[in-house]
């Protein structure tokens, strides 16, 4: 078990700050977008930081919390956050423990995204100005898992959008670790239990099966990072609740809210980049940075307006 924990900590449970190679948008890239700095504490005492983003005239009655995926921070999703703001929402974007602007030696495990999302909603509810605000949650991947499970802990969330989400840590691990690898799965699960015992057994099915809140699962059938069998299909096969809806796509891989062209361009660009890095054609950070500087990031992160129409109608 010690060996499993050591490997897991080395490759997954580490700090994510970005290497300066990939471009991340800031609110300043969107004229007129405002950012109000916030910070709050996770239950284990680590300080988490982010911003409340909005355009002038934003809806004062509602708020959307965006939960980010693993490997980056909330700025990895500025195009998504800006799209929500452009629809008139105020949007909370924050970095999980061990990510970018937030404190923490590492991310503490897969369960940490749920832990931090619950802490964020609780902090917002503790602010007088947000005590009666209609709060919705949108999350992708690691953040999608948190969004899908948040109703197990906060029944007062108005609407949930879980994009490319896995339903639980157990099901996510089982999707990749079968046969003899089940021993590894059990070791990782014990690690997760030590890290966040309150959240490790959470399953989205329990969160949504009887909920009165509105829930939307979005997944692409060819997702190779979070298999749809551990996400949308898992819930759809076990939940019969008219408040829970499903949007299944194909050909969008892990980013179903992107345009098909954006997905193809991103996969081709990073596929070649990874090939060059593996072949030691790009060695230094300066070489990698210069290569990635030629990427068309606007094309790479273009949002699918049909999917966003479904998301916005669901939240509103």
The CATH code of the domain at 2-258+305-315 is 3.40.50.1820
pLDDT in tens, 168-201: 999 999 988 766 667 778 889 999 999 999 999 9
The reported pLDDT for the residue numbered 179 is 66
The reported pLDDT for the residue numbered 185 is 84
The reported pLDDT for the residue numbered 265 is 98
User: Domain coordinates of the chain in residue numbers?
Assistant: 2-258+305-315, 260-300
The reported pLDDT for the residue numbered 178 is 67
Q: For every one of its 316 residues, what pLDDT tens digit does the chain have, with 9 covering 90 and above?
A: 566 677 888 889 999 998 889 999 999 999 999 999 999 999 999 999 999 999 999 998 999 999 999 999 999 999 999 999 999 999 999 999 999 999 999 999 999 999 999 999 999 999 999 999 999 999 999 999 999 999 999 999 999 999 999 999 999 999 887 666 677 788 899 999 999 999 999 999 999 999 999 999 999 999 999 999 999 999 999 999 999 999 999 999 999 999 999 999 999 999 999 999 999 999 999 999 999 999 999 999 999 999 999 999 999 8
The reported pLDDT for the residue numbered 2 is 62
- According to the 3-state scheme, what is the secondary structure of the chain? CHHHHHHHHHHCCCCECCCCCCCCCCHHHCCCCEEEEEEEECCCCCEEEEEEEECCCCCCCEEEEEECCCCCCHHHHHHHHHHHHHCCCEEEEECCCCECCCCCCCCCCCCHHHHHHHHHHHHHHHCHHHCCCEEEEEEECHHHHHHHHHHHCCCCCCEEEEECCCCCHHHHHHHHCCHHHHHHHHHHHHHHHHHCCCCCCCCHHHHHCCCCCEEEEEEECCCCCCCHHHCHHHHHCCCCCCCEEEEEECCCCCCCCECHHHHHHHHHHHHHHHHHHHCCCCCCHHHHHHHHCCCCHHHHCCECHHHHHHHHHHHC
The reported pLDDT for the residue numbered 11 is 84
The reported pLDDT for the residue numbered 274 is 96
The reported pLDDT for the residue numbered 77 is 98
pLDDT in tens, 259-284: 999 999 999 999 999 999 999 999 99
The reported pLDDT for the residue numbered 180 is 62
The reported pLDDT for the residue numbered 7 is 80
């Amino acid at each position: 078990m010690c060996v499993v924990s050591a490997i897991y900590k080395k490759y997954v449970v580490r700090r994510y700050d970005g290497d300066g190679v990939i471009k991340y948008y800031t609110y300043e890239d969107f004229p007129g977008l405002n950012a109000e700095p916030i910070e709050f504490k996770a239950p284990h005492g680590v300080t988490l930081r982010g911003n409340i983003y909005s355009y002038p005239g934003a809806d004062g009655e509602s708020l959307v919390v965006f939960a980010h995926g693993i490997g980056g921070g909330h700025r990895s999703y500025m195009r998504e956050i800006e799209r929500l703001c452009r629809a008139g929402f105020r949007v909370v974007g924050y970095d999980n423990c061990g990510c970018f602007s937030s404190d923490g030696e590492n991310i503490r495990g897969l369960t940490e995204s749920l832990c931090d999302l619950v802490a964020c909603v609780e902090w917002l509810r503790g602010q007088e100005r947000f005590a009666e605000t209609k709060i919705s949650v949108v999350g992708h991947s690691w953040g999608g898992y948190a969004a899908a499970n948040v109703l197990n802990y906060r029944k007062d969330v108005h609407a949930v959008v879980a994009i490319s989400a896995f339903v639980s840590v157990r099901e996510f691990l089982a999707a990749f670790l079968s046969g003899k690898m089940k021993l590894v799965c059990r070791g990782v699960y014990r690690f997760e239990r030590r890290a966040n015992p309150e959240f490790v057994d959470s399953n989205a099915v329990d969160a949504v099966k009887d909920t009165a809140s509105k829930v939307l699962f979005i997944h692409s059938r060819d997702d190779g990072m979070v298999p749809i069998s551990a996400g949308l299909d898992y819930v759809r096969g076990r939940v019969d609740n008219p408040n829970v809806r499903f949007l299944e796509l194909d050909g969008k891989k892990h980013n179903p809210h992107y345009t098909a062209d954006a997905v193809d361009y991103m996969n081709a660009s990073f596929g070649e980049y990874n090939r060059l890095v593996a072949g030691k054609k790009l060695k230094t950070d300066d070489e990698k940075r210069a290569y990635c500087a030629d990427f068309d990031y606007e094309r790479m992160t273009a949002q699918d307006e049909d999917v966003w129409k479904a998301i916005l109608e669901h939240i509103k």
